[in-house]
Amino acid sequence: MDQSVHSFGRRALDDSFHRMVEASRQQPPPPLATRLDRLARLRALISDNEQRFAAAISADFGHRCAIETLIAETLFLLGELKHTSKHLKNWMAPKSVSTQLQFWPASNRLLPQPLGVVGIIAPWNYPLQLTLAPAIGAIAAGNLVMIKPSELSPRFAALLQETVAATFEPTELLVTGIEDDIAPAFAALPFDHLVFTGSTRVGRIVAEAAGRNLTPVTLELGGKSPTIIDRSADLDVAAQRIAYAKLMNAGQTCIAPDYALVPRDKVQDFAARVQRHMIAMFGENPGNPDYTAIIADKHYVRLEGLLADAKAQGASVLQSATPDNAAWRSVRKFPPTVLTGVTPDMKIMQEEIFGPLLPVLGYDDPSEPIAFINGRDRPLALYWFGSNDAARDEVLARTVSGGVTINDCLVHFAQINQPMGGVGASGIGAYHGQWGFDTFSHLKPVFYRSPYNRLADLYPPYGAKIARLAKLLRLLS
């Protein structure tokens, strides 16, 4: 396989975009059969190249556990494609909307229409799933799609570019290059909708570029997703589930549990349990094939910096090896790490960790976690462990986050009938299932007037009749 992404200069980007726009404006909305065919071709592209995608992604990471790619990327997409294909006919159908009594016997309908051309700026952490999941919704809604892959996953980008070009016409679905000047130029194109998945910092830049064209955006960002351990929680169950969620993809997951809030007298016990489960699942050997590498040297160094700052300010560290150990560093794997004695002013509590480090903070009163979370940017995810329904419902009512899983982590993301999206600094908009179809559609309201409606009686000259009609309308309003 050619390991390099085909060059895609600014001129090619502009030309490809304008051809897509022209096609979307001149062609009628694609019928159900065309959309199902495109979804079927996308499914075949994923299935036929499953092993190649896993190998390319692993090569980009330095090592990526193939089972994680299967579970978090391939199977998720195949399930989304099956669900979308099954329900698409119903989603496309005009929807009846109730009509106010004074307009009877007229009727209202909502007509889903394609927006036109959808752009997707993809991330590197789950490059297959987070690239093609929004594409599924956009294709189902009848749009044409242009994808800009991440420059940190060049082998995957090359393979995606190759397979898409062999499966789709360039005015149906197109993968651009990853040159440095492509990303800002891509974000500046006047798409009918733009999807970006990545950091909050870059998300602001993308939103600003899109705003110049009044392009609507879906921003899937991240932030520091908290985990609350209620006093009623089974500490060992919580520790095991959090350890797995924190170390999946070596913590390089936008909805990974970023830090844990634990009753103060249980902090040390909880931290020790998390460490034991981390070792039980992933061992203490950097050669463990189940444990994924950090994507790039600069990210490894960033994690080292967070850890060093926390230690310098008094945090205690539970770790089976140090990250500067040659065996770990040579394969760019960061030893699973639990920290106690963490304070809010440490760097590790100031930015999204995006790696296998779990700070554990203590609290005394049950209201403290709520106040702590509400004093910060709204997170993409929130996790709560316990059996006290009243305490759970208090947290749900008084905190705002993109999504929540109770007594586990990450799993709300896989619920295909629920939207996936952030709020505030963690994102804008949502997709998955019908939520994706609706996001990438214009739901056009249409009013069908009946010849029997007497609205014409409101036309001038008004005279005495208007008083009677106004009285009737007041009663109906």
State how far the Cα of 287 lies from the Cα of 278, in Å rounded to an integer.
Answer: 15
Do 300 and 351 share a structural domain?
A: yes
Locate 3 and state its tokens: 């390991």
Q: Which residues touch 296 (CB under 8 Å, ≥6 apart)? A: 152, 332
Tell me, yes or no, whether 460 lies in a domain: no
Least confident of 26-35, 407-416, 448-457: 448-457
Can you say whether residue 214 is alpha, beta or left, with left for phi > 0 and alpha for psi between -120 and 50 degrees?
left
Give per-residue pLDDT as tens, 188-206: 999 999 999 999 999 999 9
Please give the pLDDT value at position 134. Answer: 97
Give per-residue pLDDT as tens, 343-367: 999 999 999 999 999 999 999 999 9
**Between residues 219 and 464, which one has the greater pLDDT?**
219
Give per-residue pLDDT as tens, 242-301: 999 999 999 999 999 999 999 999 999 999 999 999 999 998 999 999 999 999 999 999
Do 212 and 232 share a structural domain?
A: no
With a cut of 90, say whether residue 113 has pLDDT above it: yes
- CA nearest 243: which of 253, 234, 255, 256? 256
Do 360 and 237 share a structural domain?
A: yes
Locate 324 and state its tokens: 């500067």
Tell me, what DSSP letter sits at residue 379? P
Do 243 and 192 share a structural domain?
A: no
With a cut of 70, say whether residue 7 has pLDDT above it: no
Do 249 and 196 share a structural domain?
A: no
Tell me, yes or no, whether 268 lies in a domain: yes
Tell me, what DSSP letter sits at residue 189? S
- The CATH number given to whatever domain includes residue 361 is 3.40.309.10
Please give the pLDDT value at position 459. Answer: 75
Please give the pLDDT value at position 77. Answer: 97
State how far the Cα of 64 lies from the Cα of 292, in Å rounded to an integer.
Answer: 5
Does the pTM surpass 0.85? The reply is yes
Tell me, yes or no, whether 461 lies in a domain: no
Element (H, E) at 66: helix 66-69
> What residue numbers bound the domain in which 78 lies?
10-221+428-442
Q: Which entry of 50, 65, 73, 254 is annotated as an active-site residue?
A: 254
- The CATH number given to whatever domain includes residue 112 is 3.40.605.10
Tell me, yes or no, whether 292 lies in a domain: yes
DSSP string, 404-438: EEESSSSGGGG-TTS-EE--GGGEE-EESHHHHHH
Do 247 and 147 share a structural domain?
A: no
409 a catalytic residue: no
Do 230 and 186 share a structural domain?
A: no
Q: Are 114 and 35 in contact (CB under 8 A)?
A: no
State how far the Cα of 313 lies from the Cα of 124, in Å rounded to an integer.
Answer: 32
Do 173 and 38 share a structural domain?
A: yes
Tell me, yes or no, whether 369 lies in a domain: yes
Do 334 and 254 share a structural domain?
A: yes
Tell me, yes or no, whether 454 lies in a domain: no
H helices of 72-128, in order, are 75-92
Rounded to whole angstroms, what are the CA distances from 149 to 19, 95, 162, 473? 20, 36, 13, 56
State how far the Cα of 142 lies from the Cα of 25, in Å rounded to an integer.
Answer: 12
Give per-residue pLDDT as tens, 287-346: 999 999 999 999 999 999 999 999 999 999 999 888 889 999 999 999 999 999 999 999
Q: Which entry of 172, 220, 352, 409 is annotated as an active-site residue?
A: 220
User: For the residues 89-100, what does the mean pLDDT come to?
Assistant: 94
State how far the Cα of 437 lies from the Cα of 431, in Å rounded to an integer.
Answer: 8
Q: How many domains does the chain have?
A: 2
109 burial level (CB within 10 Å; 0-12, 13-18, 19+): middle
Q: Are 127 and 32 in contact (CB under 8 A)?
A: no
220 a catalytic residue: yes
Q: Are 295 and 124 in contact (CB under 8 A)?
A: yes
Do 179 and 100 share a structural domain?
A: yes
Give per-residue pLDDT as tens, 121-156: 999 999 999 999 999 999 999 999 999 999 999 999
Locate 241 and state its tokens: 């589930």
Do 240 and 174 share a structural domain?
A: no
Largest CA distance in the chain: 93
Do 197 and 269 share a structural domain?
A: no
Tell me, yes or no, whether 281 lies in a domain: yes
Tell me, yes or no, whether 474 lies in a domain: no
- A 10 A CB-CB count for 239 gives 26
